Amino acid sequence: MPGPVFLAGDRVTLRPPEEEDLEFLCRNHNDPAVRGSMPRVHPQRREDTRTEYLEGSDDSVGLLACRGHSPEADRLGFCALFRINEDSGRAEVGVWFAPDARGQGYATEAVKLLVAHAFDERRLHRLDAGAMVSNDRSRALLERVGFTEEGRRRDYYFVAGEYVDRVEYGLLATEWNGD
Amino acid sequence: MPGPVFLRGDDVALHTVSEDDYAFLQRNWNDPAVRPGFGGATVMHGEAVADHVEGLAESDEGEIFLVCADGDPVGEGFLFDLDSQRGRVELGYWVAPDAQGQGYATETAELLVEYAFTERRLNKVVARVLAFNDGSRRVLETVGFEHAGRFREDFYFDGEYHDADLYDLLAAKWDGPRRPGDTGDASAEGGAD
């Protein structure tokens, strides 16, 4: 059973990841259909998943995305603010969703909840995000949320045997309308 | 000798605190002419000095500086209870008795306020003054703090409770440090009268 609700939307809740979520997190983190778009190319053992997802750090906020508000809610994916820099007021946004949880608007709602938290509760000023140029799903999600394409890092990733550009996105608190 | 300069004003500079400065800090923190100004009533032994300095210097919730004039230590300026999420921090300072009356505390407060707003992206600086401490009150008012309220019987000193006056300054009200020719009592100092 997932942990307590920290952020709640209409259909999605974000919750601090708990020991019981470890199996879901570890399985998806290693799933080629999930890790391929981050990209992550190293196998991750359960212990390392615990370190990365459960222990947390001062400069990141990671939350498990679940369907619905009940204690038995289904796990959908994970989203995070990381490299939080309080002095300049910025952070990066990252998100992945399990393959069977995609295409229904859940990830968009989850990222909007996270963005609202960053601006309205954490007092941040700017959010960064990046996506492989070939990752149409992530790029469309960022644009739906309101991110602006700001540039491109050439040959930034090595994926499936070739170099791929990274598209840089940014969203300012002043541009965020909160819906 | 003090650590390197981190913030530089006209008459004082705020240096990082080195172990060489511990004796100066310890002498003043224990000095009956200094510690009433900030309500200090505990014996500060050597270990406690190191704990205090390191506690502020190494945490995300504060900063501590040695105030120097012409390279010599004259006091301490510090920020504590820093809360990034709320964007607020509390200000503290004192000047050694033989260096008071020269505007050092005022300039120290200005340097720390400017730093809090323009480098640390904070929104509000608060300060707490023992009600009888008119010198410290003048420092805050000169810098631009506004009186925000009073905590009753907030300190215990000299056999009785003392109220504390609360002051705050918002980033939106901050127009930078005073420039030469601005009005304001630049001779005000912290510490007990």
| B33-64 pLDDT per residue, tens | 888 888 888 888 888 899 999 999 888 899 99
Chain B partners of A87 at a C-beta cutoff of 8 Å?
119-121
Overall average pLDDT of the A140-161 stretch: 95
Of A135, A168, A125, nearest in space to A149 by CA: A168
Pairing, β B124-130 against β B88-95: parallel
CA distance A81 to A91: 6
Q: How far is CA A74 from the centre of its chain?
A: 17
Higher pLDDT, A149 or B184: A149
Residue A167: predicted pLDDT? 98
d(C-alpha B72, C-alpha B11), whole Å: 11
* A79 sits in which H/E element: strand A74-85
* Residue A103 reports pLDDT greater than 70: yes
Residue tagged 């907030």 (tokens) = B154
Among A17, A125, A127, A142, which residue's Cα sits nearest to residue A83?
A127
Please tell me which of the candidates A88, A121, A122 has its beta carbon nearest to residue B121. Answer: A88
The whole-number pLDDT of residue B184 equals: 46
Distance CA B55, CA A14 (A): 34
Cα B136 to Cα A29, A165, B106, B161, B186, distances in angstroms = 57, 58, 9, 18, 12
Residues 108-137 of A with CB under 8 A from B: 121-123, 125
Say if the Cβ atoms of A123 and B119 lie within 8 Å: no
Above 80 in pLDDT, residue B186? no
In chain A, the residue whose alpha carbon lies closest to the alpha carbon of B121 is: A87
pLDDT for A75 equals 98
Q: Determine the residue of chain A that is closest to B88 in CA distance.
A: A123
Q: Does B118 touch chain A (CB under 8 A)?
A: no
> Across residues B118-133, what is the average pLDDT?
95
Q: Provide the 8-state DSSP code for A29.
A: H
Determine the pLDDT at residue B120. 93
Q: Which of B58, B63, B84, B115 to mutate to test the interface with A (most CBs of A within 10 A)?
A: B84
Instruction: Select the residue from A59, A84, A85, A86 to test the B interface by mutation, using most B Cβ atoms within 10 A.
Output: A86
The beta-carbon neighbor of A123 closest among B60, B87, B119 is B87
Q: Is the pTM of this model over 0.80?
A: yes
Q: Which residues of A touch B123 (CB under 8 A)?
A: 123
- Does the CB of B119 have a partner CB in chain A at under 8 Å? yes
Check B121 against A86: CB less than 8 A apart: yes
**CB contact B45 to A (< 8 Å):** no
State whether B85 and A123 contact (CB < 8 Å).
Answer: yes
Task: Give the containing element (helix H, strand E) for B73.
Answer: strand B72-83
Query: Residue B187: which pLDDT band, with cuts at 50, 70 and 90?
Result: very low
Residues 36-75 of A with CB under 8 A from B: 58
Give chain B positions within 8 Å (CB) of A125: 121
On the question of pLDDT at B188 being above 50, the answer is: no
Percent of chain B with pLDDT over 90: 74
Rounded mean pLDDT, B153-161: 89
Residues of A with Cβ-Cβ distance to B120 under 8 angstroms: 87
Q: Using a CB–CB cutoff of 8 Å, tell me whether A88 touches chain B.
A: yes
Kindly determine whether residue A87 and residue B60, on different chains, have CB atoms separated by under 8 Å: no
Check CB contact under 8 Å for A123 and B120.
no
| Dist CA A53 CA A24 (whole Å) | 11
